[in-house]
Structure 1
Amino acid sequence: MKRAMSLLLAAALCAGLLVGCGASSGGTAAAMPNSTVVEEGSLDFATGEAADAGLSGTEADRLSPNDGRKIIYNASLEMETEEFDATRDKLLKAASDADAWVQGSDEGGSAENGSRWVRYTFRVPSESYADFLNDASAAGSVTYKSETTEDITADYVDLEARLESLRTQEARLLELAGQAGDLADLLAIEEQLAQVRYEIESYTGQQRVYDSLLAYSTVDVSLDEVRVLTPVSNNFGSRAVTAFKESWHNFANGVQDVAIGVIYLLPVLLVLAVIVLVVLVLLRAARRRRPQKPIQPPPAPPAQVPGTGTAGEKPAPKYGPEK
């Protein structure tokens, strides 16, 4: 009886291994999922030949190029705006309309300097992916856009086949455990059953991750506040307009900086003015208290002798004949 049970257990394990190998042979050739990156525009779907690589004939027949494929969509947007609050509200409204949710966010900058920024990671339902991307792009000025598609059809089919094989092994081992009459055989079956169940849990967790990535697309949005938008075209006219706007903004910022500097120095200037005023008042009071010297009259002119000129001078000789 013990030998027969051992043979049955070995046969069940061999059958399970054969089923698992047969199921995985179609997917191992396409172990790496097809990934497509598209920048600045159109979304490039994987072609039927590329996506069917590694699939067996039966699996390829029941999966058409545009139906039933397991494709993960991701996108990245970099945007600028002169109206930060309004553009951010538009982004959040687009997410709400698409039933999306914010997986992560980060923001910073200064409103006074016009340098605010925010980074969002949106999880968007796959059926609303295209609409959300259009609405988000229309919220501001897009400077960079990237879209990626990852076809995991082969991996997903291989994962389902492995799970099916493991569940078949689990059912067979449970049946053998019910027929085991020896404790050693029962312990051996329980050990194999624990290993099979562990693999089932592992593959089931991976399947849940795939299902989440397939159900919700990931869209990263970067929004920066600027004073002058980066021109889409690079001709002379747009460059000249941009240069004038930047020069004007720099001049206005310079005037504001000077005014702010004066405001910062105003308390110091007021204190210095009070000190100077007090010093002047004290100096004037000191001058008033100082005794003044008496004013001496100017010396009197010397007295003149009659018939003479200035005192001490001889009279002028008289000319002419004496009488």
Structure 2
Amino acid sequence: MKPLWITLVLAILTGCTAVQPEVAQESTAPVTQAEALSATQVAKTVDTAKIQPQLAKTAQISLEVDNMDKSAQQAVGWTRQAGGEVLNLTDNGMKGEVRRLSLEVQVPAPQLDAVLAQFSTLGKLESREVTAEDVSNQLVDVGARLRNLRKSEELLLKIMERSGSVGDVLKVTQELSQVREQIEQWEAQRVNLLNRVRFSRIRLNLTSPLAATPGRSIPERLGETWQQATSTLGNITLGLVQLALWLLVFSPYLLVVGLVGWLVRRRWRASRP
């Protein structure tokens, strides 16, 4: 016959595999990026997600601007005024005759349309795209898993209080540690989903064509040609001097090779009839 605590642990683990979402009617409590909600707030948020869609929005807008630095500075200022923050800025520099800059920002979801409207005034609009992902089902699933894991944690604590032997306590402690680790993982995933709903991300792509350079005058062209000619002459002269130095350094070897060749040729002529 199995001990009581083993039977209870098996029942707990079996119950965790079949998670059924539960729905209640409460209001959603927003979270910040740095804090986690309590167990009561988890139930409220997840249950409300079942009733009302929870949309994670992202946007992408591409513009052609005249002044790259000024436009990027204005975009950063508008983002912070709306309560958002800059996540990433990539300046690709000049590619051919075009300079490219990519700016990724995060703003509160209610401010998404207003910020996009401000960005559109920076220059000529090339493309604009807004997408939304409904994460309601994910929130419901995560919330249900968290509730079941917390129930398992409570049962394991009760089993630990009843266990008398050291071996049983160690086994229950190990199971409890695994359950708490899963709670932390699912809690982090829940906070991430809620932040995606509360904050929208915008990728701003800026391009700035370079202004055409004016043609050079004839004196400037002649001066450049003179510089190129003198530079080429100096390089050729330097190359000849270097070649003469190499020949001077290896002259003893060249003399030996020449002497051997002269002796071979002389012997060959003497051997002829």
TM category (shorter chain) comes to: 0.5 to 0.7
Please state how far the C-alpha of 1:15 moved relative to its aligned partner.
4.5
Q: Relative contact order, CA 8 A, sep 6+: which one is greater?
A: 2
Match of 2:134 in 1: 151
Contact 1:95 1:122 in 2 (8 A): yes
Q: Are 1:263 and 2:220 matched, yes or no?
A: yes
User: Within 2, Cα distance between the matches of 1:118 and 1:260?
Assistant: 34
Partner of 2:259: none
Q: How far 1:148 moved relative to its partner?
A: 0.9
1:29 aligned residue: none
- SS at 2:188 equivalent: helix
**Cα displacement (A) at 1:196:** 0.9
Q: Which residue of 1 aligns with 2:175?
A: 192
- Asked whether the equivalents of residues 78 and 222 of structure 1 are also in contact (C-alpha less than 8 Å), the reply is yes
- Please point out which of 195, 205, 208 is paired with 1:212: 195
Q: How has the CA–CA distance of structure 1 residues 157 and 191 changed in structure 2, closer, same or farther, with 3 Å as cutoff?
A: same
- Aligned counterparts of 1:197 and 1:127: Cα–Cα separation in 2: 35
The equivalent of 1:91 in structure 2 is 75
**Residue 7, structure 1, aligned to residue 9, structure 2:** no
TM-score, L = length of structure 2: 0.65
Partner in structure 2 of residue 106 of structure 1 = 90
**Percent of matched pairs sharing the same residue:** 20
AA in 2 matched with 1:82: D
- Change in Cα spacing, 1:19 to 1:264, as seen in structure 2 (3 Å) is same
CA contact (8 A) 2:19 2:145 kept: no
CA–CA distance in structure 1, aligned partners of residues 74 and 197 of structure 2: 26
Indicate conservation of the 8 Å contact 1:74/1:217, yes or no.
yes
Matched residue, 2:260: none
Q: Distance in 2 between matches of 1:125 and 1:137?
A: 18
Distance of aligned partners of 1:222 and 1:160 in 2 relative to their CA distance in 1, 3 Å threshold? same
The letter of the residue matching 1:95 is: T
Which residue matches 2:107?
124
| Aligned length in residues | 208
- C-alpha separation between the residues in 1 aligned to 2:150 and 2:22? 18
Give, in whole Å, the separation in 2 of the partners of 1:102 and 1:125.
12
- Whichever residue aligns with residue 75 of structure 1, its letter is A
- Cα deviations by residue, 1:281-316 (Å, 9 ceiling, x for unpaired): xxxxxxxxxxxxxxxxxxxxxxxxxxxxxxxxxxxx
**TM-score when normalising by structure 1:** 0.55
Residue type at the aligned position of 1:185: D
Task: Give the Cα–Cα distance (whole angstroms) in 1 for the partners of residues 186 and 197 of structure 2.
Answer: 16
Q: What are the ranges of 5 or more consecutive residues in structure 2 without an aligned counterpart?
A: 24-45, 230-273
Gaps of 5+ in 1: 27-58, 228-248, 273-323
Greater helix content = 2
